[in-house]
Chains A and B, each alone.
Chain A
């Protein structure tokens, strides 16, 4: 059974650019969530996708967007990058919205984004 994999592990972007981060969910999981973890802080919820549709969003601007594909892999896109977007971006998958608590969330190792 494979876990959650994220790519790339690190990347550096310039302010104003766009970035796409990728996530492959754990086998059997159809729900994926994205979190932003700034240095020295706890993860903050960005949004969640269930069966290819966004079904929850945190307090992030529209320039943060996402996709979920039929194989339940996912992308996080961030447009017009700002310096404050520098953070570790974590992807988490779970077995389904209805089981969000019962089955727990499996996290990937994250993508470290640095905006300069």
Chain B
């Protein structure tokens, strides 16, 4: 069965500290991978995506993610967070067998404290 697992439901972090959000997916074939951010009462904004090529992907707002095919993971990182990074983060996968939809994880709530 296809699934996307975000290993942490909540991540509290202090301002200027690094953060890593973990995402694993189930697939034996190539997939497209995405990270989205959702601020309170808003829709989803694309942070970054992996389609092919370099396994280290850089996105907006200083975020980056690393694709690891052997571990079927796509973890999101930021070396130094700001208060404004407080939001919900979603990992999403586009599976070739369901090529018309995104499958989302349950989300990780990041709370940045001063």
B102 surroundings in chain A (CB, below 8 A): 33, 35, 43, 45, 92, 105
Proximity bits, B94-114, A CB within 8 Å = 1, else 0: 100011111111110000000
Proximity bits, B45-69, A CB within 8 Å = 1, else 0: 1100101000000000000000000
Q: Which chain A residues numbered 19 to 38 have a C-beta less than 8 Å away from chain B? A: 33, 35
A82 shortest CB reach to chain B, Å: 22
Q: Which residue of A lies closest to B42 (CB)?
A: A109
- What count of chain A residues pass the 8 Å CB interface test? 28
A48 surroundings in chain B (CB, below 8 A): 100-101
Number of A-B contacts defined by CB within 8 Å: 65
CB atoms of B100 and A55 under 8 A apart? yes
Distance between Cα atoms of A44 and B92 in the complex (Å)? 11
CB atoms of A108 and B99 under 8 A apart? no
Q: Which chain B residues numbered 22 to 51 have a C-beta less than 8 Å away from chain A? A: 32, 34, 36, 41-46, 49, 51
CB atoms of B98 and A56 under 8 A apart? yes
A65 shortest CB reach to chain B, Å: 17
Distance between Cα atoms of A6 and B43 in the complex (Å)? 10
Q: Which residue of A lies closest to B45 (CB)?
A: A107
Q: Which residue of B lies closest to A56 (CB)?
A: B100
Known interface pairs A107-B36, A109-B42. Does A100 touch B99 (Cβ–Cβ under 8 Å)?
yes
- Please provide the 4 A-B residue pairs with the shortest distance between their CB atoms, ordered closest to farther: A42-B104, A56-B100, A101-B32, A45-B101
Footprint of B on A, CB under 8 Å?
A: 4, 6, 33, 35, 40-45, 48, 50, 55-56, 58, 90, 92, 97, 100-102, 104-110
- Interface CB pairs A-B, < 8 A, 13: A42-B90, A42-B105, A43-B44, A43-B90, A48-B101, A55-B100, A92-B44, A97-B99, A100-B99, A100-B100, A107-B45, A109-B41, A109-B42
Footprint of A on B, CB under 8 Å?
A: 4, 32, 34, 36, 41-46, 49, 51, 90, 92, 94, 98-107
